[in-house]
Structure 1
Amino acid sequence: MKYNLLTGLSVLAMMACNNPTAEKKASATTDTTVKDTHTQSNADSILLKHLDLDIQVNMEQQQISGHATWAIDNPHQLPVLQLDTYELSIDSTTVDGKLVPHTLDAPVTYLGSRLNIPVSANSKTVTIWYKTGKNATALQWLQPQQTLGKKHPFLYTQSESVYARTWIPCGDGPGIRYTYNARVTAPKGLLALMSAENPQAVNDSSIYHFKMELPIPAYLMALAVGDITFRKIDERTGVYAEPAMIDKARYEFEEVGKMVHTAENLYGPYRWGRYDVLVLPPGFPIGGMENPRLTFCTPTIIAGDRSLTSLIAHELAHSWSGNLVTNATWSDFWLNEGFTDYFERRIMEAMMGKSYSDMLWELGYQDLVAEVAAIGKDSKDTWLKLNLEGRSADDSFTSIAYEKGAHFLKLIETVVGREKFDRFLKTYFDTYAFKTMNTAQFLEYLDANLIKGDTALSNKIDIQAWVYGPGIPANCPRVDQERFQKVDEARAQFLKATPPAQLATQNWSTQEWLHFLRKMPQPLSLEQMQQLDGAFHFTKTGNSEIADQWFVMAIAANYKAAYPAMEQFLRYVGRGKFLQPLYGEMMKTPANQEMAKALYAKYHQNYHPIAQEALKKILK
């Protein structure tokens, strides 16, 4: 269904009246069709219907404390409720207000300690009083000097994949959905925000109340507390950021309201009320996190020219693929990110034109080729459907889920036709709204509603090769290279000694510059690096995507003129996408290994625990 924006309240009223599917299906559910090996909870038997969270944020002690009350339904009359925790200190537990004993199992690698609470068939509420531990992976506590404003501390969470259990005792699996309310007591003068209905200004009490009446999984639980201010974009979109960043962020995200309309025109109404964006301090480990109603994003996309906002299109697309229809397990992660990459590029095509989205597709294809080469073209880890039993859920976070998944959908679109595929996807999102999906279920749905037993069509797509086969299938679709062909010509001219200033680079987008640099032979000579830097000032660029690629090339070429700027980049930027290639390039030679270890020792406290863990593996 398409509709025009009137006012925030009237739109929501229209949605409630005209979209009964969403209202009907917006209730707590747990996927019981497949076994999720990354949760130790028994939420597949005891339904976790609703969470009431009451917590205090102590910046000085770097600790969250309080209680979590679960409304449950125990239809199988099990004697014990089991929940996921990770280094939580459990003070006490009550069932329907009465104190009961609890036990914590020995910790399991990747999973933490299972919390066991005795319940009866008629138990309705279970309350856990707890405190977070020092190694709560989801939490990054920032000292004032680690923020832009330099005056106040800051806290933010990153719960995906299985890190909600480090700050909330819960059933921590993507197939477990519940509603929640929260009461958060923050330090005086700081604003608290969550993946819920949010305030837009600091209040005098420092107590903030939140409501999420639509069921979400634990990995979408999010909290931020800091010196944060708000700016409106339109009636249902806006941006939050530190005061020192808010003007730049508001300018960069001017088109976000238009993005929401564009997405709706493709695949139906946005069902989450508001869509706001929070720009976090630089240590945020990923590009963006699709927390419902409040996307968390990195400041590295604030380029001053709105050239990197396709990331916001990606996080917005998650409001359909991922948040609305969720992968049942982390082994089905491609159902989340592959669909979202595809949807993101459809949004950008509608807003920026086909030649622009073609560049996104080609850069994504390059990422896929590099990932397959790194993992191994015959590895089962290049299948779309993964086997992660006994492994970290984060092992699913590769370009396979994103790019192989997106190209699989692009192939289906190409084979069946865009109009037919769009109808299929819109019906898919409507049919499974607020539910979960696993790979086998999706393939059954695909066959029943699109392929419809057409053997020739099925053979042309070759589902087996894509979903349960390694590498990049031979029928992987490729897009028009019109703009990149011109970039290739410019690069070839430079490599034949044409001065960079004479190249036809006027009005190049970020994507064209990235393609120009990515395809350069490595290492370039010092003279070539100096020529490029003299003409295009890559070392001083404010575009993080270009800067990261340039610094990787500088390390390879031993272009030391770029090292001071690279160090400042590593000091302030915590995004794993940028850190891992830089540290990885440094680790290729003994001399640079010493530099890598020195820089990490100097700046690792600015990085989120998730980024730290990834870098420790690189620096071994």
Structure 2
Amino acid sequence: MRLSRLTLCLAAVLAAACSPEAPPPAADAPPAVATSAAPAATTAVDEHSYAEPDKVRTKDIALVLDVDFAEKQLEGSATYTLEWLDPTHGRLVLDTRDLTIEKVVGERADGKWTDLIYTVDPADDVLGSRLVIAAPDRNKRIRVTYKTSPNASGLQWLEPSMTEGKKQPFMFSQSQQIHARSWVPLQDTPQVRFTYTANVTSPKDTMVLMSADNDPKAPRDGEYTFKMPQPIPSYLLAIAAGDLVFKPISERSGVWAEPAAVDKSVKEFEDTEKMIVANEKLYGPYRWDRYDMLVLPPSFPYGGMENPRLSFITPTVITGDKSLVALIAHELAHSWSGNLVTFSTAKDAWLNEGFTSYVENRIIEELYGKERADMENVIERNELAKEFKEVDPKLQQLAVKPGVLKDPDESSSATVYTKGAWFLQFLEQRFGREVFDPFLKNYFDHFAFQSIPTATFVDYLQKNLIDKHPGKVTMAEVEKWIYQPGVPEFAPKITSPRFDAVDAARAAWLKDGTLPPKSLTGNWVTQEWVHFIEGMPQTLTVDQLAALDAAYGFTGTRNGEIAQRWYPVAVRSGYTKANEAIVQFLQTIGRRKLIMPTYSELVKTPQGLALAEATFAKARPGYHPITTGSVESVIAKAKQPAAKTP
């Protein structure tokens, strides 16, 4: 895949005729919130964006959009309020992907709008197309009129049959990492933070929501207005539309969901306010006014997305026992680590996800106890060890070197999440919470509403923690964590007595077929069942699998975390009795983490590959484009001829 920036000469002249087009509804940018410091100085280059943020930056975007379910597209305009940093620079470069650009105009000093010359470069497989707008007068505001493709990588359009209610269509976005450019032309780099407003029209029976000030009392009249006064990076721009209702959890938190899902969602997530309070106690006030959650259809490709004010949540975490609400703690924690203090490039993704995974675990410990937090850590570290056996060592570094990460969607998730959190747990252990907690709180305050690279964090860490408390941690140790593959030999270890009991029960069953008694398993939570299955041999006999199924009903389970471990074992072991349930699971769920392990096992045999292809053909209309790409890749690779041995 090409990463070089495409170049094309522009005529640097303005069209003479003034456009009769009126200014957008929001003529002035909303007031930006106060930040704690000036933007952090950085020389980081974002190799996944064409934008030139050192020359000109977007300060605000005013969106005017129409949601067209029939055509599966958004159509409208984006008006950018710009800050020109280079007084000699005369162009605005935006990132796009599969957009149809219809018109570009700029606001003159006299308030009138005039046509601007622009070009759209040929598309790069990863980056999309560079939109270059000639602006020799460095217009304060520029507007682009456009429409999206029905196949936009950052949007999913669902037919009514693919929703829980089965009555109305559904649409939602997924902008991270670089998919925002597929539904808005913009500087699609976390180095640029902007406020935004939006006016969105839709069918009158459809509720529209955005990562902004959603009004629970807004009437369904087909026209919605939004304002996001806090500056955000592009990957946090979000939109959704469908048959949605709201139910509160607390004064500042609640759930949006389809009518059939809202009550069970509120019950599952009823501890959200407690999580907010626990975070505030540790790391300072919640700065985004509200924290609401949107429960999406099961086709959502991720567990959750931390869109500010409105986290997008997969329904696969609703189990009835709160055993998977660590996901809520994670998305909420992003309100400090990621949304507030943001990585400046995808190469520094651990600054978002590693910090958030650390904070998530602290919240789980606070609300549900250290035993639960320790079990979560053990599972994640086991997954990290497994991934490190296969992933390129270059991707095992927290700070990935330039040129290594070809596509930002392909980073090592276990590295950025688990190794990143493990590094912070190492610091916590060495310095003690009485020192480390205030340091982390001050870090969030110091860099609030800024985007920084790893080097900036390392410098802050040295000056404000390591140098102030000599003899605890050396910079050589820090550098080994950040710039070397794998996990350092001095990393702190965690054990779980509850998992020790699970290990003993599994070993006894494998030895003589004695199933763990109900007096033991009756109190097991999801994490213990996950550990029980994960510790099994690669394959079991069909009789062994049938015995486990008869006792515990793994086949057909509604718990996705259990299913994603059980079905691969069933496939490897030739347990065809599970095939019907496997097909149903893969056709119902679109979350990549849950379904890709089973697809990956199916494609290893001719019979399994045929089942995978047939299942994918039926499931594909309900998959998000991101999930579709992952499944296509696994199937295509399996169908390639084996390399001949010389």
TM-score tier, shorter chain, comes to over 0.9
Q: Deviations over 1:349-373 (max 9, x none)?
A: 0001111100011011011101111
Range moving further from structure 2, 387-396 or 422-431: 387-396
| Candidates 25, 28, 31, aligned match of 2:35 | 25
One-letter amino acid of the structure 2 residue matched with residue 370 of structure 1: K
The residue aligned with 1:40 is 50
Does the Cα contact within 8 Å between 2:69 and 2:169 map onto a contact in 1? yes
Q: Deviations over 1:517-537 (max 9, x none)?
A: 100112111111111111111
The residue aligned with 1:76 is 86
Distance in 1 of aligned mates of 2:180 and 2:210 = 13
Pairing of 1:244-323 with structure 2 (within 5 A): 244-323=260-339
Does the Cα contact within 8 Å between 2:396 and 2:412 map onto a contact in 1? no
The residue aligned with 1:3 is none
The residue aligned with 1:133 is 149
The residue aligned with 2:20 is none
Distance in 2 of aligned mates of 1:564 and 1:164 = 37
Does the Cα contact within 8 Å between 1:278 and 1:295 map onto a contact in 2? yes
Does the Cα contact within 8 Å between 1:64 and 1:132 map onto a contact in 2? yes
| Candidates 383, 388, 398, aligned match of 1:372 | 388
Q: Deviations over 1:577-601 (max 9, x none)?
A: 0111010011222221211111112
Pairing of 1:360-439 with structure 2 (within 5 A): 360-376=376-392, 379-389=393-403, 391-439=406-454
Distance in 1 of aligned mates of 2:516 and 2:485 = 44
Distance in 2 of aligned mates of 1:102 and 1:519 = 58
Does the Cα contact within 8 Å between 1:31 and 1:175 map onto a contact in 2? no
| SS of equivalent residue, structure 1 residue 530 | helix
TM-score under structure 1 length normalisation: 0.94
Range moving further from structure 2, 525-534 or 321-330: 525-534
The Cα RMSD (Å) is: 1.7
Range moving further from structure 2, 230-239 or 533-542: 533-542
| Candidates 70, 75, 83, aligned match of 1:65 | 75
Q: CA deviation at 1:497?
A: 2.2
Pairing of 1:527-566 with structure 2 (within 5 A): 527-566=543-582
The residue aligned with 1:94 is 105
| Candidates 575, 580, 583, aligned match of 2:599 | 583
| SS of equivalent residue, structure 1 residue 598 | helix
Classify 1:494/1:461 alpha carbon distance in 2 versus 1 (closer, same or farther; 3 Å): farther
Does the Cα contact within 8 Å between 1:28 and 1:50 map onto a contact in 2? no
One-letter amino acid of the structure 2 residue matched with residue 458 of structure 1: V
Distance in 1 of aligned mates of 2:556 and 2:131 = 51
Classify 1:42/1:335 alpha carbon distance in 2 versus 1 (closer, same or farther; 3 Å): same
Pairing of 1:518-529 with structure 2 (within 5 A): 518-529=534-545
Q: Deviations over 1:229-257 (max 9, x none)?
A: 11010100000111111121111111111
| SS of equivalent residue, structure 2 residue 472 | helix
Does the Cα contact within 8 Å between 1:238 and 1:275 map onto a contact in 2? yes
Distance in 1 of aligned mates of 2:153 and 2:287 = 30
Range moving further from structure 2, 117-126 or 249-258: 117-126
Deviating beyond 4 angstroms after TM superposition, the runs of 4 or more aligned structure 1 residues are 26-32, 453-456
Distance in 1 of aligned mates of 2:83 and 2:222 = 34
The residue aligned with 1:605 is 621
Does the Cα contact within 8 Å between 1:32 and 1:44 map onto a contact in 2? no
Does the Cα contact within 8 Å between 2:40 and 2:447 map onto a contact in 1? no
Distance in 1 of aligned mates of 2:471 and 2:603 = 49
Q: Deviations over 1:64-112 (max 9, x none)?
A: 0000000012231311111111111010011002122211122223111
Q: CA deviation at 1:499?
A: 3.0
Distance in 2 of aligned mates of 1:236 and 1:397 = 34
One-letter amino acid of the structure 2 residue matched with residue 527 of structure 1: D
Range moving further from structure 2, 360-369 or 75-84: 75-84
One-letter amino acid of the structure 1 residue matched with residue 437 of structure 2: D
Distance in 2 of aligned mates of 1:30 and 1:471 = 30
Does the Cα contact within 8 Å between 2:148 and 2:182 map onto a contact in 1? yes
Distance in 1 of aligned mates of 2:564 and 2:330 = 21
Q: CA deviation at 1:291?
A: 0.1
Classify 1:115/1:27 alpha carbon distance in 2 versus 1 (closer, same or farther; 3 Å): farther
Q: CA deviation at 1:460?
A: 8.6
Q: CA deviation at 1:201?
A: 4.8
Range moving further from structure 2, 494-503 or 264-273: 494-503
Distance in 2 of aligned mates of 1:595 and 1:275 = 42
Structure 1 unmatched ranges of 5 or more: 1-21
Classify 1:401/1:383 alpha carbon distance in 2 versus 1 (closer, same or farther; 3 Å): same
Classify 1:363/1:352 alpha carbon distance in 2 versus 1 (closer, same or farther; 3 Å): same
Q: CA deviation at 1:134?
A: 3.1
Q: Deviations over 1:368-413 (max 9, x none)?
A: 101111115xx21111111353711112252111111110111111
| Candidates 476, 482, 485, aligned match of 1:470 | 485
| Candidates 192, 195, 212, aligned match of 1:196 | 212
The residue aligned with 2:257 is 241
Q: CA deviation at 1:541?
A: 2.2
One-letter amino acid of the structure 2 residue matched with residue 429 of structure 1: F
Distance in 1 of aligned mates of 2:280 and 2:566 = 37
Q: Deviations over 1:592-616 (max 9, x none)?
A: 1211111112211211000111111
2:65 is equivalent to residue 55 of structure 1: yes
Distance in 2 of aligned mates of 1:460 and 1:43 = 31
Q: CA deviation at 1:309?
A: 0.6
One-letter amino acid of the structure 2 residue matched with residue 56 of structure 1: D
Q: Deviations over 1:492-525 (max 9, x none)?
A: 1111224325362121111011001100112111
| SS of equivalent residue, structure 1 residue 374 | coil
Q: CA deviation at 1:564?
A: 1.2
One-letter amino acid of the structure 1 residue matched with residue 44 of structure 2: V
Q: CA deviation at 1:538?
A: 1.1
Q: CA deviation at 1:135?
A: 2.7
One-letter amino acid of the structure 2 residue matched with residue 104 of structure 1: V
Classify 1:258/1:248 alpha carbon distance in 2 versus 1 (closer, same or farther; 3 Å): same
Does the Cα contact within 8 Å between 2:348 and 2:399 map onto a contact in 1? yes
Does the Cα contact within 8 Å between 1:31 and 1:328 map onto a contact in 2? no
One-letter amino acid of the structure 2 residue matched with residue 500 of structure 1: L
| SS of equivalent residue, structure 2 residue 85 | coil
Q: CA deviation at 1:44?
A: 2.4
| SS of equivalent residue, structure 2 residue 507 | helix
Aligned residue pairs total 597
Classify 1:119/1:460 alpha carbon distance in 2 versus 1 (closer, same or farther; 3 Å): closer
Distance in 2 of aligned mates of 1:191 and 1:469 = 48
Q: CA deviation at 1:120?
A: 3.6
Range moving further from structure 2, 263-272 or 216-225: 263-272
The residue aligned with 1:158 is 174
Q: Deviations over 1:142-198 (max 9, x none)?
A: 011111111111000000000100000100011110000001101121000000000
TM-score under structure 2 length normalisation: 0.90
Distance in 1 of aligned mates of 2:85 and 2:414 = 41
| SS of equivalent residue, structure 2 residue 612 | helix
| SS of equivalent residue, structure 1 residue 66 | strand
| SS of equivalent residue, structure 2 residue 354 | helix
One-letter amino acid of the structure 1 residue matched with residue 46 of structure 2: D
Distance in 1 of aligned mates of 2:225 and 2:99 = 23
Does the Cα contact within 8 Å between 2:505 and 2:516 map onto a contact in 1? no
Distance in 2 of aligned mates of 1:448 and 1:324 = 21
Pairing of 1:154-193 with structure 2 (within 5 A): 154-193=170-209
Does the Cα contact within 8 Å between 2:36 and 2:445 map onto a contact in 1? no
| SS of equivalent residue, structure 1 residue 347 | helix
Q: CA deviation at 1:458?
A: 3.2
| Candidates 248, 262, 282, aligned match of 1:232 | 248
